[in-house]
Amino acid sequence: METPNDASSRARPPRFTRELTTLVAAPLAIWIIGWAPSLVFDLAISVIASLALYEFLNLGVRKGYSMPVTLCILVTLFILAAFVLESVSVEMGVFLALLVIPAWYVLTGGELEQALPSSAIAILATLYVGMLGGSIIRLRNDFGAVGAKLVFFLLLVVWCGDAGAYYVGRKFGRTPLSPRISPKKTVEGGIGGCVVAILMALLIRSTFFPEFPLFHAIIAGVILSITGVIGDLAESMWKRSAAVKDSGSLIPGHGGFLDRFDSIFFTAPILYSYWFLIIHHFQTIRIMSA
């Protein structure tokens, strides 16, 4: 007969699962970002985006709504392709989402009472993952030799800032940052995360990214730290609304793809825009224009 202790030990993930996953995935990720052909990087982002979208739509399913998962993934892949192919405009992908997803609900004849929230969630998830995921592709592909460095800058600053916020908050956290959405996040942790993000930005700038002006590296660290927290809180808000702790469990020790990349999706277009403004001396706002 199984005892409660046996059951809890079976439910508990093995020790160091998070670290082992990182140890295995990190070398592959470094190669894909820094040295793989653009097509490989674009396909990797498309896979990540598709899995994150599946988890996002599943939040709607957990709320009891019908989600056209396959259709939404196809539309998101079209949007991502539009960020790569010059012959396809991103606007066409947005129009496609706004047209075919509501049409799906009309043609399938679902419950009328669920039509508004169901279609709203499906469109939001598709555009959120497709547009923001596409920004990561453009961040690497639009700026020549520094594109890969920008992606490394984004990932390291945001994720290290997040880790700094966690450890500082666990040690010194007293003041809740957003108790309604994420009770464990604290103001002290946020400040610690911002400091770590700035230090990481300076480290990156001094080691392999000298093209990033010192002043702007500091400002970018602050901006990415703050907006990364907002992106994380946005996903936490949606998960809390769906009464789930993690969006998925596909990454051992890290939860789901939406859990791992929520802050990255949110901050990628911000770093893209900031770098675009830097190289154009803040004299244009035609960002990501054809």
Question: Where a domain ends, among 124, 141, 158?
Answer: 141
165 Cβ neighbours under 8 A, 6+ residues apart: 185, 189, 190, 192, 193, 194, 196, 229
pLDDT at 109 over 80: yes
Q: Output the DSSP codes for 234-272.
A: HHHHHHHHTT-S-S--SBTTTB-HHHHHHHHHHHHHHHH
**Which residue range forms the structural domain that includes residue 225?**
145-290
| Pairwise CA distance, residues 174 & 183, whole Å | 11
Instruction: Name the nearest CA neighbour of 229 among 182, 276, 172.
Output: 182
121 Cβ neighbours under 8 A, 6+ residues apart: 57, 59, 60, 63, 65, 67
Cβ count near 169 (within 10 Å)? 22
Answer yes or no: do 282 and 188 share one domain.
yes
pLDDT for the residue numbered 4: 40
Answer yes or no: do 57 and 174 share one domain.
no
pLDDT at 2 over 50: no
Answer yes or no: do 127 and 212 share one domain.
no
Radius of gyration of the chain (CA): 20
pLDDT for the residue numbered 1: 39
Answer yes or no: do 156 and 247 share one domain.
yes
Answer yes or no: do 204 and 123 share one domain.
no
Question: Within a domain: residue 13?
Answer: no
pLDDT tens string 259-270: 989 999 999 999
Answer yes or no: do 197 and 277 share one domain.
yes
Average the pLDDT over each of 55-64, 109-118, 266-275 and give the range with the smallest value. Answer: 109-118
| Pairwise CA distance, residues 124 & 135, whole Å | 16
Q: How many domains does the chain have?
A: 2
Q: Are strands 182-186 and 176-178 parallel, antiparallel or unpaired?
A: antiparallel
Question: Where a domain ends, among 141, 174, 201?
Answer: 141
Answer yes or no: do 198 and 242 share one domain.
yes
pLDDT at 13 over 60: no
| Helix (H) or strand (E) run with residue 226 in it | helix 214-241
pLDDT tens string 66-76: 999 999 999 99
Contact status, residue 234 vs residue 227, Cβ threshold 8 Å:
no
